[in-house]
Amino acid sequence: MHRWFLSPWRLGLLATLGLAGPVQAQTPASSALICEDATPPPGALQVGARQALFRDCPRLGDVDFTGKADGYKYHSGVSFAPLKGTSLYGPADDGVVLKRGGLLATAKATAHPGQFPLLRGDRPFYIEAQVAISSNDRDNFPAVWLMPIEHNPRMEDVYEGDPKGFERWFELDIDEGGFGPGGHHTAISWSGIYPNYKKIQNPNPTSKEPLDRTQANVFGVSYSPDTLSVRWWLNGRPVLEASHPYVPEIARRQNFYLIVSAQSHKNISDYTLKFMGVRAFAGEATPVRGEAARPARPPQTKGAP
């Protein structure tokens, strides 16, 4: 659930998130920075995603606060929420600090690609982000998640053959805080005509194993278009899996970008989130059959950047 979403077409995402399956025992965080490691992690190798797409140690100077500027790695807004001001961000020796309410996205707030490539849904991929927060208060709602760039005010998630205004998209929440003592990992298949969106999501998303979020944890997810499955990773260990129908066929036709956000459940606790690194890997496109097997279309064919 992302409570600060304001655009009417996006209010369907204000529902509570969830996922499926038992979560394994968690692995302690490491002080090593993932952005300094070029070796493909186990999650990438598991789906054959050996091609490095990007690897970065974020810095405050990498952030665009207009939402539309070229030449920046991160943007302080998304197409379904207002831009965030500079007062919510600060520098760190090993990353960028976000105050409560801050957000960073690898796509522009205009829903056009940024400097980093999008994660294509017709190719296996793995992405992970390293973050730490200032306290373990359950009101804190740090989130690391993926959205398809097609889900935007231009409604590029309406596909040929579907009813007018009928949207379909796949949301992949790598981790969210404050839902329980441990990690919270969700795959959601959304569809419908606003305001009557429907979703299918995995049950049992939250680990009962306590997670110290003040440590530099690495949250990752691997995706396979061949099997329509995802696997979540915590500090290099697999913790949860999900597959179709929670991972929908439409995912193969969409292109995903990363969002890191410092949200709050009830705006009680002030906290900060430090974003310390990100890296992404991809594999070869998987030949599949059927309507949803068509390759992910080139994003942002409508409108100006």
CB atoms within 10 A of CB 73: 18
Q: Is the pTM of this model over 0.85?
A: yes
- The amino acid occupying position 297 is R
In the block, residue with structure tokens 């493909």: 40
Q: What pLDDT is attached to residue 294?
A: 52
Q: What pLDDT is attached to residue 93?
A: 97
CA dihedral 34, 37, 43, 49 (to 10 degrees): 130
CA distance 169 to 188: 8
Q: What is the mean pLDDT of each run of 10 residues along the chain (305 residues)?
A: 41 33 61 96 98 99 98 97 97 98 98 98 99 98 99 97 98 98 98 97 93 98 98 98 98 99 97 99 79 48 39
CA distance 237 to 41: 10
Give the three-state DSSP class for 5. Answer: coil
Q: What pLDDT is attached to residue 289?
A: 53
Q: What pLDDT is attached to residue 18?
A: 31
Q: Kindly list the domain boundaries of the chain, sorted by start residue.
A: 36-281
- Which CATH number is 36-281's, of 2.60.120.200, 3.40.470.10, 3.40.50.970, 2.40.50.140? 2.60.120.200
